[in-house]
Structure 1
Amino acid sequence: MSIEVNNESETVVDEAEFAALARYVLDALYVHPQTDLAVLFVESDVMAELHVKWMDEPGPTDVLSFPMDELRPGREGDVTPAGLLGDIVLCPEVAAQQAAVAGHSTVEELLLLTTHGILHLLGYDHAEPEEEKEMFALQRKLLLTFLASR
């Protein structure tokens, strides 16, 4: 599995920790070990440009996911085919604002957003109440079990 983490923001992040989280989530969801994923941290002006270009919404957002091969989670004994999962773009500045409101650290918020972004790449969504319930429960479980294993 190739997980590439690049930080183009001014915020210092532990790239290895985000790669480990991504690897953990993909393994837990039975994604083929040869699947590629890119995680990118950017400044708010770059995120604002991406947000307008791809979502037609103004201002920066916390995370954007760009799926490639439309892979879906596998299950025990039946992993997904190998492929290019896609890219996740995160904005630490927006994450820091959200973390302050939520009462936890920016790193915790970025780990949450990374998990959220990976789930979007795997086809999860939260547009409908039942989808939101499923996605957010899985997101919480994956993040908590990852943090407990550290």
Structure 2
Amino acid sequence: MSIEVNNESGVSVDEAEFAALARHVLDAMRVHPQAELSIMLVGSDVMSDLHMRWMDEPGPTDVLSFPMDELRPALEGEVPTPGLLGDVVLCPEVAARQAREAGHSTTEELLLLTTHGILHLLGYDHAEPDEEKEMFALQRRLLLTFLAGR
């Protein structure tokens, strides 16, 4: 599995931990072991530009996902398809603010957002209440099992 973590944010993070989380999520979701994923951490100015360009919304956001080959988790008995999963872009400045409001660390918030972004790449969404319930429960389970194994 090829997982590339690029930190252009100026905020110090443990890049290996983000790669380990991504590997955990992709393995748990039965994604092909040769799938490729990119995780980028950027400053709020870059995130603002991306948010406006791709979502037509002003200001920085916490996470954006850019799927490439529209890979989906393999069902039991299916052979997963290799390919480019896509890019997850994180903004540590926004994550730090959200972490303070939620009462946990910025790193925990960034790990949550990474999991969230990967699930979006795999086709999960939270536009409808039932979709939100499914996605957020899965996100929670994946993150908790990762953190328990640290």
TM-score, reference length from structure 1? 0.98
Give distance in 2, aligned partners of 1:17 and 1:59. 28
Q: CA deviation at 1:74?
A: 1.1
Shift of 1:76: 3.7
Identity of aligned residues (%): 79
- The CA RMSD measured in Å over matched residues stands at 0.7
Is 123-132 or 69-78 further displaced after alignment?
69-78
Q: TM-score scaled by structure 2?
A: 0.98
Q: Using the TM superposition, give the Cα deviation of residue 80 of structure 1 relative to its aligned residue in structure 2, in angstroms.
A: 1.9
Q: Which amino acid aligns with 1:58?
A: P
Q: Which residue of 2 aligns with 1:31?
A: 31
Instruction: Find the aligned partners of 1:58 and 1:48 in 2 and give their Cα distance.
Output: 6
Deviation of residue 78 (structure 1)?
2.4
User: Tell me, which stretches of 5 or more residues in structure 2 are unaligned?
Assistant: none
Q: How many Å separate the matches in 2 of 1:138 and 1:80? A: 19
Deviation at 1:143, TM superposition (A): 0.1
**1:2-21 paired onto structure 2 within 5 Å:** 2-21=2-21
1:146 is aligned to: 146
How many residue pairs match? The answer is 150
Rounded to whole Å, the distance in 2 between the matches of 1:69 and 1:83 is 6
Partner of 1:86: 86
- Counterpart contact for 1:21–1:111, Cα < 8 Å: yes
- What CA deviation, in whole Å up to 9, does each residue of 1:24-71 have, x standing for no partner? 000000000000000000000000000000000000000000000001
Are the aligned partners of 1:73 and 1:79 in contact in 2 as well (CA < 8 Å)? no
Name 1:43's counterpart in structure 2.
43
Return 5+ residue gaps in structure 1 as ranges.
none
Runs of 4+ with >6 A deviation: none
Q: Tell me how far apart the structure 1 counterparts of residues 44 and 13 of structure 2 sit (CA, whole Å).
A: 16
